[in-house]
């Protein structure tokens, strides 16, 4: 998205600069073009509700078979899509020029990804997930089984259809409206790689769940058990690319979206499962409709001056400001929070101040440069759950006093001034007396 819009922006900016500077609407972070890779095209109808909801929200969906020989993510160095939905769990090799590295490059250049696996998942899909910090169960026949919080059905099954309601508590990820009904899940388990600090569990299994083959007797304890099993996970990469990983492709299906649900042991029966709300809200997050912040106009200047200096002096008073906006899906709205901080940083923070905001997106503070010279940085490191991380830094050297910035006369030194002047006068008098007194 970036390049195209940027080009338009450049063209427009010549004529529309005053208008543009007032609104940011042309600079939208939301994805537009999505590529959906399918195992077979019947998924298009079996998951039509999810796809239609995406379409109705303005996304351009491009359905392709995962082994389409003309498959390509980029052409002439430009990416053709902003997001990728991998609904092709059993694909062993992508068609065309796409492979594992191409998918990862796609993410590493700032694009978003949804991966849905299921019991028939291929090594390829699993390795994409592994590269994103999530490990699916090694056992190909294992499913998540929960004998406690399964979804009640007419026939007593093998308890692989799970009614999960252990959501992450985040309005940004799952929307403001609480998801009441449990989410139906039938698929494979995955766990988070402990080395990865960016991956999050959005929907976890209950403590009594485990991952095993439902059709055979357990010969050894299951490798994944309890709430370490994640049903749906998300990753927000360092470049703010977002990835959603789930072990159940059925979760998005029309059948699950329309189905009623009753969690075992719970008296309440919901007419409609929480799936639709869950996948809709989460897809909004993944495709940057929600939770996208931007910081602009990082400014600093000496107190009482307007221009940004190239260098500060120690003990200068300075004013620092930055504007932070949140994308609402249609426009940039002021972001209001009271926990944005700025650091004046040189190997460690010398100043750490919370910024106050004017509710219109402008965050500002003023402070004194410490009595230390060196090459400092203004740093705003703002990492909040669900939001894109803001990590701004601006280098600014701080110099010591110039030779003429010290005080000219110091009160404490008056005895010395007195001494030298009396000395001079005394010497003069002495010479005079000695030379001319007979």
Partner 1 sequence: MAVTKTEPINSSSNKPSSSSVSMKSDLMSALSLKSLKLKTKQQELLIRVSILCLVYVLAFITRLFSVLRYESMIHEFDPYFNYRTTLFLTEKGFYEFWNWFDSESWYPLGRIIGGTLYPGLMVTAAIMYWGLRFLRFAVHIREVCVLTAPFFASNTTLVAYFFGKEIWDTGAGLVAAVLIAICPGYISRSVAGSYDNEGVAIFALLLTFYLFVKAVNTGSLAWGLGSALGYFYMVSAWGGYVFIINLIPLYVLVLLITGRYSMRLYVAYNSMYVLGMLLAMQIRFVGFQHVQSGEHMAAMGVFFLMQGFYFLGWVKHLLGDKKKFEALLRIIVTCAVGVGAIALGVGTASGYISPWTGRFYSLLDPTYAKDHIPIIASVSEHQPTAWSSFMFDFHILLFLFPAGLYFCFKRLSDATIFIVMYGLTSMYFAGVMVRLILVATPAVCLISAIAVSATIKNLTTLLRTKSKVSQTGSTKGASGGKGSSKALPDQSQPFQRNGAIALLFGAFYLLSRYAIHCTWVTSEAYSSPSIVLAARGAHGNRVIFDDYREAYYWLRQNTPADAKVMSWWDYGYQITAMGNRTVIVDNNTWNNTHIATVGRAMSSYEDEAYEIMRSLDVNYVLVVFGGVTGYSSDDINKFLWMVRIGGGVFPVIKEPDYLVNGEYRVDKGAAPKMLNCLMYKLSYYRFGELVTEYGKPPGYDRARGVEIGNKDIKLEHLEEAFTTSNWIVRIYKVKPPNNRW
Stretch that binds partner 1, among 40-48, 125-133, 152-160, 251-259 (CB under 8 A): 125-133
Beta carbon nearer to partner 1, 226 or 374: 374
Return the closest-CA partner of residue 38 out of 69, 73, 65, 70: 65
Whether the CA torsion 9, 11, 17, 20 is positive or negative: it is negative
* Identity of the residue, 163 or 398, whose beta carbon is nearer to partner 1 in the bound complex: 398
Point out which span in 192-200, 247-255, 293-301, 360-368 binds partner 1 (CB under 8 A): 192-200
- Closest CB to partner 1 among 38 and 107? 107
Pick between residue 107 and residue 231 the one whose CB is nearest to partner 1: 107
- Say if CB 105 and CB 84 are below 8 A apart: no
Q: Is 241 in the site for partner 1 (CB under 8 A)?
A: yes
* Residue 157 binds partner 1, judged by CB under 8 A: no
Interface with partner 1 (CB under 8 A), residue from 403, 408, 437, 438: 403
Instruction: For CA atoms 1, 391, 360, 384, give the dihedral sign.
Output: positive
For residue 253, the 8-state DSSP code is S
* Least separation in angstroms between CB 41 and partner 1: 31
423 binds partner 1 (CB under 8 A): no
Cβ proximity to partner 1, 22 vs 310, nearer residue:
310
- Beta carbon nearer to partner 1, 135 or 171: 135
Lay out the site mask for partner 1 across 40-79 (x = CB under 8 A, - = otherwise).
----------------------------------------
Nearer to partner 1, 132 or 249 (CB): 132
Contact of 147 with 276, CB cutoff 8 Å = no
| In contact, 59 and 82? CB cutoff 8 Å | no
Q: What are the backbone dihedrals phi and psi of residue 228, each rounded to the nearest 5 degrees, phi first?
A: -75, -15
Nearest distance from C-beta of residue 234 to partner 1, angstroms = 12
In angstroms, the CA 34 to CA 179 distance is 26
List 14, 22, 194, 347, residue binding partner 1 (CB under 8 A): 347
Which runs of consecutive H residues, i.e. helices, occur in 263-350? 275-286
From the list 65, 3, 1, the residue with the least C-alpha distance to 29 is: 1
What six digits make up the tokens of 187? Answer: 């698929």
- Positions in 270-329 near partner 1 (CB under 8 A): 311
CA gap 432, 428 in Å, rounded = 6
C-alpha distance from residue 260 to each of 86, 103, 154, 404 (Å): 26, 36, 12, 80
Chosen residue from 75, 176, 217, 402 binding partner 1 by CB under 8 A: 402
243 binds partner 1 (CB under 8 A): yes
Rounded to 5°, angle at Cα 103 from 98 and 105: 110
Tell me if 274 sits within 8 A of 261, measured CB to CB: yes
**In the range 127-156, which residues lie near partner 1 by CB under 8 A?**
131-133
Query: In terms of DSSP H, where are the helices of 295-413?
Result: none
DSSP class of residue 309?
Answer: P
Site residue total, partner 1 (CB under 8 A)? 31
Q: Residue 368, Cβ neighbours under 10 Å: how many? A: 13
- Choice from 157, 226, 265, 400 touching partner 1 (CB under 8 A): 400
Report the nearest approach of partner 1 to the CB of residue 239 (Å).
Answer: 6
Token representation of residue 180:
């009441």
Of 182-190, 270-278, 327-335, 400-408, the segment contacting partner 1 by CB under 8 A is 400-408
**Looking at beta carbons only, is 58 or 374 nearer to partner 1?**
374
Binding site for partner 1 (CB under 8 A): 104, 107-108, 131-133, 195-198, 235, 237-239, 241, 243, 311, 346-347, 373-376, 395, 397-400, 402-403, 434
């Amino acid at each position: 998205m970036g390049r195209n819009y940027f080009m338009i922006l450049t063209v427009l900016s010549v004529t529309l600069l005053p208008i543009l500077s007032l609104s940011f609407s042309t600079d939208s972070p939301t994805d537009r073009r999505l590529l959906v890779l399918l195992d077979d095209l019947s998924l298009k109808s079996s998951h039509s509700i999810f796809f239609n909801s995406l379409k109705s929200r303005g996304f351009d969906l491009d359905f392709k078979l995962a082994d389409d020989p003309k498959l390509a993510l980029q052409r002439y160095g430009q990416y053709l899509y902003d997001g990728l939905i991998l609904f092709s769990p059993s694909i062993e090799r992508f068609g065309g020029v796409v492979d594992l590295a191409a998918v990862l490059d796609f993410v590493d250049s700032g694009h978003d990804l949804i991966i849905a696996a299921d019991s028939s998942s291929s090594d390829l899909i699993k390795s994409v997930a592994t590269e994103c910090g999530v490990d699916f169960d090694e056992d190909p026949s294992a499913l998540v089984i929960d004998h406690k919080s399964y979804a009640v059905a007419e026939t007593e099954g093998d308890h692989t259809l799970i009614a999960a309601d252990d959501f992450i508590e985040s309005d940004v990820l799952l929307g403001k409206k609480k998801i009441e009904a449990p989410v139906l899940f039938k698929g494979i388990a995955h766990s988070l790689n402990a080395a990865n600090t960016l991956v999050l569990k959005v929907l976890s299994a209950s403590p009594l769940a485990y991952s095993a083959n439902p059709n055979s007797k357990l010969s050894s304890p299951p490798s994944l058990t309890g709430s370490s099993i994640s049903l749906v996970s998300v990753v927000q990469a360092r470049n703010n690319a977002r990835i959603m990983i789930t072990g159940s492709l059925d979760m998005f299906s029309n059948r699950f979206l329309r189905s009623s649900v009753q969690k075992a042991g719970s008296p309440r029966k919901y007419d409609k499962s929480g799936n639709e709300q869950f996948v809709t809200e989460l897809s909004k997050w993944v495709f940057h409709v929600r939770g996208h912040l931007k910081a602009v106009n990082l400014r600093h200047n000496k107190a009482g001056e307007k221009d940004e200096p190239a260098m500060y002096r120690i003990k200068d008073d300075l004013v620092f400001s930055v504007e932070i906006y949140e994308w609402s899906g249609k426009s940039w709205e002021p972001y209001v929070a009271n926990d944005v901080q700025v650091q004046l940083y040189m190997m460690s923070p010398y100043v750490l101040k919370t910024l106050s905001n004017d509710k219109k997106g402008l965050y500002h503070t003023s402070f004194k440069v410490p009595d230390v010279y060196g090459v400092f940085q203004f740093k705003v490191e703002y990492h909040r759950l669900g939001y894109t991380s803001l990590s701004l830094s601006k280098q600014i050297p701080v110099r010591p006093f110039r030779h003429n910035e010290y005080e000219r006369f110091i009160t404490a030194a008056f005895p010395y001034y007195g001494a030298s002047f009396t000395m001079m006068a005394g010497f003069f008098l002495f010479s005079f007396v000695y030379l001319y007194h007979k």
